[in-house]
Amino acid sequence: MSKVTVYSTQNCPYCRMAKAFLEKNGVSYESIDVGADEKAAKKMIELSGQRGVPVITVDDKVIVGFDARRLNELFGSTAMPDVHDVLIVGAGPAGLTAGVYCSRKMLNTMIVTENIGGQALESWAIENYMGYRMISGEDLMKKFEEQARMLHIRLELDRVVSAAREDDLFVVTTASGNRIQARALILTQGNKPKKLGVADEDKYLGRGLSICATCDGPLYKGKRVAVVGGGNAALQTALEMSKLAASVILIVRSTIRADPLYVEKLNAIPNIIVHKQSQVAALHGDTFLSGITIKDEKGAEQVIDLDAVFIEIGWLPNTEMVEGLVDLNEKKEIIVDINGRTSAPGIFAAGDVTNVRSKQIIIASGEGAKAALEAYEYLGQQR
């Protein structure tokens, strides 16, 4: 039997996904919290060359991140039913809600997703979801997941790479090579984070450059960090990192666009320095990131020594796999009507991947319910 070790941090959603995958497939593993154990963190970095979690070791193999394809190759099962009534792509607020509604309508439902919780997982604190005065994104999505798992929904941790119509069915292909057939398709795959667009960005990703502060933040206790962005997510990250890091630099391309509540909190934190009208012009370091150059609106440059940069500059829709299958707008968002129907009969969409203007958890959840009810109506008409 292989020796499996998962290096993780307490609030990392992708670490939780990796552990859930291993548990589902009956794989025993040792879990090590590198946010609390500095010696273990150093060992993880030596093994993987990464300052990001999760890192999974399987005997002498090292897997960086929640790599669904690689984990499926090692431990997964490809056995699938012939045809599902509904296939849902994505398991954020919209996808999980759609799954619950489909299951309650007694539809044979499957969800395929890279992670459970989607973009909501990266919210440090949610204060505008009804029923909760304040709850973390991870805790809220855990409750969504628990409700979905109580029902007859098959949930596969995998990445969809293409979708097509074949006669009266939709066929989805995943990164691990599975072909899944369904009579109706609900697209809720959400967004992916924008990149800075500077040289060597990929080189430093996981080596001081991070897109998930809830995952990697604990690795930078007492360090110097920067947060790039001026919206709610950026200010939330800066506020939370100020409790861990020695200093936080907030780099805002234009002006701060966050809610007044976050701005008020930001102004009261002494170890956060704000650079407005500025952007990251270059990244510096050898193996790991050790500094950045920022440029202001007048073109003046400044080199800043630091240990990590957390990117919070927005999101792009995950729609490459459905281009040509459904109509997209100029932002590459899926165009839906008021009931979640796309341009293609039998395909529905909900959440942040659509052209619905407001990107909020509570709105995505409602849109997921609408898409599920429309899929049920569509299948009834087909029968």
Last residue in a domain, options 37, 55, 75: 75
* CATH assignment of the domain containing 37: 3.40.30.10
Q: Name the band, by pLDDT with cuts 50, 70 and 90, for residue 68.
A: confident
Mean pLDDT of 258-264: 94
pLDDT at 55 over 90: yes
Rg over alpha carbons for the chain, rounded to the nearest Å, is 21
Q: Name the band, by pLDDT with cuts 50, 70 and 90, for residue 104.
A: very high
Residues 93 and 237 reside in one and the same domain: no
pLDDT at 27 over 70: yes
Residues 150 and 98 reside in one and the same domain: yes
Contact 88, 180 (CB under 8 A): no
Residues 336 and 305 reside in one and the same domain: no
**pLDDT tens digits, residue range 138-194?**
899 989 989 998 888 998 888 899 999 999 999 999 988 889 999 999 999 999 999
Residues 214 and 250 reside in one and the same domain: yes
What is the structure's pLDDT at 78? 53
Residues 94 and 167 reside in one and the same domain: yes
What is the structure's pLDDT at 317? 95
Residues 305 and 246 reside in one and the same domain: yes
Contact 92, 118 (CB under 8 A): yes
Domain span at residue 340? 84-193+315-382
What is the structure's pLDDT at 377? 97
Residues 46 and 100 reside in one and the same domain: no
Report the domain count for the chain. 3
* CATH assignment of the domain containing 97: 3.50.50.60
What is the structure's pLDDT at 80? 59
What is the structure's pLDDT at 383? 78
Last residue in a domain, options 248, 279, 311: 311
Residues 306 and 320 reside in one and the same domain: no
**pLDDT tens digits, residue range 302-316?**
999 999 999 999 999
Last residue in a domain, options 290, 311, 332: 311
Residues 97 and 242 reside in one and the same domain: no
**pLDDT tens digits, residue range 194-219?**
999 999 999 999 999 999 998 999 99
What is the structure's pLDDT at 196? 96
pLDDT at 52 over 90: yes
Residues 179 and 323 reside in one and the same domain: yes
The pTM assigned to this predicted structure is: 0.81
Q: Distance (Å, rounded) from C-alpha 292 to C-alpha 251?
A: 11
Q: Name the band, by pLDDT with cuts 50, 70 and 90, for residue 67.
A: confident
Average pLDDT over the chain, rounded to an integer: 93
Contact 172, 158 (CB under 8 A): no
Residues 378 and 230 reside in one and the same domain: no
Between 339 and 158, residue with greater pLDDT:
339
**pLDDT tens digits, residue range 72-100?**
788 876 555 579 999 999 999 999 999 99
Percent of the chain with pLDDT over 70: 99
Residues 305 and 323 reside in one and the same domain: no
For residue 146, the SS3 value is helix
Helix/strand number for the chain, H first, E second: 10, 21
| DSSP letters spanning 111-128 | EEEEEESGGGGG-S-B--
103's CB contacts (< 8 A; 6+ apart) are: 109, 148, 151, 152, 153
Backbone angles phi, psi at 225, to 5 degrees: -130, 160
Contact 95, 368 (CB under 8 A): yes
Between 123 and 48, residue with greater pLDDT:
48
